[in-house]
Structure 1
Amino acid sequence: MTPEQDELRATVRKLLEREATPWPALVDIGVPALAIPEEHGGLGAGLTELRIVAEELGRVLSDVPFLGSAVATQAVLATGDEQLLPRLAEGAVAALAWTGEDGRWDAAACRGDLSTVDGRAHYVLDGDTASILLVAAGDGLYEVDPSDAVREHVPSLDETRRFATVTFDHTPARRLGPLDLGPLRDFACLLLAAEQTGAAARALELTVEYTKQRHQFGRPIGSFQALKHRMADLHVLVETARSAAYADLPAVAKVHCSEVLSEVAAEMIQLHGGIAITWEHPAHRYFKRAHSASLLFGPPHHHLPHIRPS
């Protein structure tokens, strides 16, 4: 990491520790503007900076609308349309509708022509609250006035992730341009993998701290060799997840980081004992995030065919 990237990480972490509702403060430091070119009010940063922010948000399981809006912003950038970029740089939250009821990643859920879209999209990140609503339909990306669509909040296992079902019925739309979902899916998976890595790292930190505090037979349970070995194995998993998340191998990152977070979260439950299944302890939140994130943008087995042996 460069000194500037290290400073970005430190700034975001301090902000998340300080702010109860961090999105306005993240907007103030330019997080929504990171990937947008400077001529449109952005900062002209790259994917690495976005992954740093995603990792820090994952550590605290933040419920800010970063992931969905970042993917929607990338979709706009991919079309070459410039009209929405200044609003996005200023912090307007965007949602991208693209997934059918079966959860598969394609544009078949909706249909579009030059001026309207039809269909129903599921699992739309922040779809019921976003001020900019985008639709992947056929081979194009469309903008729809949110007030013209039917948006329904859908509760999920992970209460820190907001989903919606969005219905379009001959809804007026503006076509931004052609959109290839393949590269966009890769981008989304890399951001999600960074978020999963942050969550896994923090879950392990909390577990190590607890094993130093809990005593059994007159000594901290973390001093027992068997537990040392288990936590050492988890440390290796977290470090390999971070390597995968920051490498440009989307399928590898999605599969490996999903598996790592699920394993670390499960071990967090086990090593905390009875306290881990109480509502007050954060362990259940990491466990729920692990299972929810594993399915987001396609479960790991959907991505396995895209992994090519070296």
Structure 2
Amino acid sequence: MDFSLSLEQQMVRDSARDYLAAHSDSAAVRRVTEAGAAHDEALWHAVAGELGWCGIALPEAVGGAGLGAPGLVLLQEQLGQRLACVPFWSAVCVAAPWLQASLGPRGSAHWLERLACGELRAAAVLPDDGGWQYDGVAIGAQAGADGFVLRGCAAQVADAAGADWLLVPARLEDGVPALFLLEPAALAQDARIMLAPLDTLDRTRPQAALRLDGLPVPASACLARADAAAFGLAQAWWHGKLMLAAEQLGAAQQCLDLTVAYASERIQFGRAIASFQAVKHRCAQMMVLVEAARSAVYGAAQAWETGEVADGTGIRLDIAAASVAADDALRFCAQEAIQLHGGVGFTWEYDPQLYFKRAQAASHWLGGAGAALAYLAANGPNAWRTA
């Protein structure tokens, strides 16, 4: 497979890298997290509105750039490298493909147009068990005369704070899957819905717990049912996992860059520690894992864009492999960055601790590497099956 980037893709990558280096550097990230803010509002308005990043992967018919998964992966890699405090992953990488897959091209156009221009931000409630099926959905919907009544909870919802739309999967009374769209601002005074912010290890991506205690919603809030809803959830989960791997790849690359820069400046025994063979070997191992993850992520993005998504098995295997590679790369590079920074590596003043926290948190999102390995073991070409 050819992983070479087109001129357009190179421009997307380079412009994103330069913009985020200037507007989402370490100082900017620390200002947001230390102030307790959910997101960097100035950065979000810039990337969503002025730069048009929210529509990078969406079709041109809805105001997007039509660059698909390969283009979006490049943005996610740069956002992960800078730990950008924006709800991009939730809105663009999960919510948008969920609406697209559940409602189809025509049915989703109205919703996608508003996401593409950055007018609104969306968050998505994903199953707590780290799977892509409705088995782990803990929210039920009871049909009534004027709509539905929602009951249940979700332990963690990424970027729920400040979201204009909340995509909620639920099970109808007969067990049929359904997708609901809620507007938290309009329900803010209703005690039957609660979004409670969580104090988490990685404060660059805020989480909230959702509880629905008999919340009535109109029939129009149910966007999809049955196979369409189930297919949409699966697509959103796998697409989100691919883009999360791209984000982890970018964070791993930054760990390597920070380490090489520090080792080149740190003098010990009259020499920069970068000249020591042991340090070289450890940096080389970091680079090997980063490049392996990059190949896997880029390859999975190409497979998503060119493959038959409706079938999904081969594409999902590619995404699962990319997820494992990116998770391994980030965890290894984050811990090596701390070790190779020596006695200051774990301190608040240095950046490796930010990436170590992201590595630990991201290793549990969407089931982490464990869910990916389980899928590979069950569905890979050499999967063992009982008769």
**TM-score when normalising by structure 2:** 0.76
CA distance in 2 between counterparts of 1:305 and 1:277 reads 33
Structure 2 letter corresponding to 1:164? A
Once the two structures are TM-superposed, the CA of residue 104 in structure 1 deviates from its matched residue by 5.2
* 2:125 pairs with one of 91, 94, 97: 97
Structure 2 letter corresponding to 1:13? R
Asked whether 1:12 is paired with 2:64, we answer: no
CA distance in 1 between counterparts of 2:130 and 2:155 reads 7
CA deviations 1:217-252 (Å, max 9, x no partner) are 111111011111111111111000111111221111
Identity of aligned residues (%): 39
CA deviations 1:83-142 (Å, max 9, x no partner) are 322221121110011233x55554422123563332111221111210111111232221
CA deviations 1:65-95 (Å, max 9, x no partner) are 1111121111011112323222211211100
SS in 1 for 2:89: helix
Alignment of 1:54-133 (within 5 A): 54-70=76-92, 71-80=94-103, 81-82=107-108, 83-91=110-118, 92-100=120-128, 105-107=132-134, 108-112=137-141, 115-116=147-148, 117-133=150-166
Matched with 2:201 is 157
Matched with 2:223 is 176
Structure 1 letter corresponding to 2:117? E
8 Å CA contact 1:94–1:132 kept in 2: the answer is yes
Matched with 1:213 is 265
CA distance in 1 between counterparts of 2:322 and 2:365 reads 13
8 Å CA contact 1:190–1:253 kept in 2: the answer is yes
CA deviations 1:269-301 (Å, max 9, x no partner) are 000011111111111000000010111111212
CA distance in 1 between counterparts of 2:325 and 2:60 reads 34
Q: Which has the larger radius of gyration?
A: 2
Matched with 2:57 is 35
Structure 1 letter corresponding to 2:371? H
CA distance in 1 between counterparts of 2:209 and 2:96 reads 20
CA distance in 2 between counterparts of 1:168 and 1:106 reads 20
Matched with 2:342 is 273
8 Å CA contact 1:15–1:25 kept in 2: the answer is no
Mark the runs of 5 or more structure 2 residues left unpaired by the alignment: 29-41, 172-176, 188-192, 301-317, 383-387
8 Å CA contact 2:289–2:328 kept in 1: the answer is no
Structure 1 letter corresponding to 2:44? W
CA distance in 2 between counterparts of 1:86 and 1:30 reads 12
Matched with 2:246 is 194
SS in 1 for 2:235: helix
SS in 2 for 1:247: helix
Once the two structures are TM-superposed, the CA of residue 184 in structure 1 deviates from its matched residue by 2.2
**RMSD (Å) for aligned C-alpha atoms:** 1.7
**Shift >6 Å, 4+ stretches:** none
8 Å CA contact 1:105–1:298 kept in 2: the answer is no
CA distance in 1 between counterparts of 2:140 and 2:53 reads 32
Mark the runs of 5 or more structure 1 residues left unpaired by the alignment: none
Q: State which drifts further: 206-215 or 39-48.
A: 39-48
Structure 1 letter corresponding to 2:9? Q
**TM-score when normalising by structure 1:** 0.94
* 2:357 pairs with one of 272, 288, 300: 288
